[in-house]
Amino acid sequence: MTRVIVIGGSGHVGTYLVPRLVEAGFEVVNVARGQRSAYQPHAAWSKVETVVLDREAEDRAGTFGAKISDLRPDIVIDMICFTLPSAQLLVDALRGRVEHFLHTGTIWVHGPSVAVPTPETVARRPFGEYGTQKAAIEAYLMHEAQRNAFPATIVHPGHIVGPGWAPLNPAGHFDPSVFSTLAQGKELVLPNFGLETVHHVHADDVAQMFMKAIGNWSMAVGEAFHTVSAQAVSLRGYAEAVSSWFGQEAKLSYLPWEQWKQQHSPEIVEQTLDHIARSPNCSIDKARRHLDYQPRYSSFEAVREAVDWLVAQGIVATG
């Protein structure tokens, strides 16, 4: 039986990926920092071995890669690698020992959108620590795959959403009160003209991409794939859609960025700027052609499932 090690398998994507792997007949080991349950229950978790490892501590000690190698993986799926040194330590330990290594990247490796939808092949212009580090990891893994035959594939998700956590909202940040504002027909103030874009993906569609990559090894190794819904959405269009879910007509107004940011906390301002400064809009043509990736959810469908959960939990107030 093929043995798959999922590093960070209890998180957003692992909630859907781990059951898919079990149902496909793989032997699955979830490596996690603690014993947190997945966001959604599934009987498949009873067949999963969990190994507790603190990656940051093990990386500092230089032992994380060796401990993953000691688990005897055929396939490794790395959900939680955020720095180049961490990636290098793991690859060095797994070189010649795994059939497939899959890394979770991000569409933020691109930086600001230029010609859209953005393909994987455009020159990288990342900014900010997260996007810059992920771009450096991608460059390293692609070099190792193409020059040294390390069997790496990179999956680049957009803004991951699903029931169990608050999605990126129509104002470009994560405060769920924005959904309450729209559900109650109150005015929402957007930055600029609300025409910047965001690109969501349901966590289960990210899980689908990993399964497609594993099932199409020869097409996936040495490649990176955008993993998003079929279409990005503008902040304005997103707000109008959310309002319609609650039988409301969106009441939107707009402020120039310098005025808008004066009305919000530094945390909200930072989150929103991170998203609107990039305005991602990514193509999935490559993944469709090479892997037959077919996202089940549109951006709005994915978000609505998450918002329905927020309403059920009393986090979003509708009346």
Q: Which residues contact 81 (CB under 8 A, 6 or more apart)?
A: 7, 87, 90, 103, 104, 137
What's the pLDDT at 68? 98
Q: Of all helices (H) and strands (E), which one includes residue 86? A: helix 84-94
Closest CA to 202 of 273, 129, 304, 280: 304
What's the pLDDT at 41? 84
What's the pLDDT at 263? 96
CA distances (Å), origin 233, targets 6, 117, 228, 252: 31, 12, 12, 16
Domains present along the chain, CATH in parentheses: 3-160+200-227 (3.40.50.720), 166-199+233-279+298-312 (3.90.25)
**CA of residue 228 relative to chain centroid, distance:** 9
Residues 234/163, Cβ–Cβ less than 8 Å: no
pTM higher than 0.95 for the full model?
Answer: yes
What's the pLDDT at 319? 82
- The tokens describing 94, both together, are 């797994």
Q: What do you get for the CA distance between the two ends of the chain, in Å?
A: 52
Tell me the pLDDT of the chain (319 aa) as tens digits: 899 999 999 999 999 999 999 999 999 999 998 767 778 888 999 999 999 999 999 999 999 999 999 999 999 999 999 999 999 999 999 999 999 999 999 999 999 999 999 999 999 999 999 999 999 999 999 999 999 999 999 999 999 999 999 999 999 999 999 999 999 999 999 999 999 999 999 999 999 999 999 999 999 999 999 999 999 999 999 999 999 999 999 999 999 999 999 999 999 999 999 999 999 999 999 999 999 999 999 999 999 999 999 999 999 999 8
What's the pLDDT at 112? 94
What's the pLDDT at 39? 81
Closest CA to 177 of 273, 315, 1, 307: 315
Residues 69/94, Cβ–Cβ less than 8 Å: yes
Radius of gyration of the chain (CA): 20
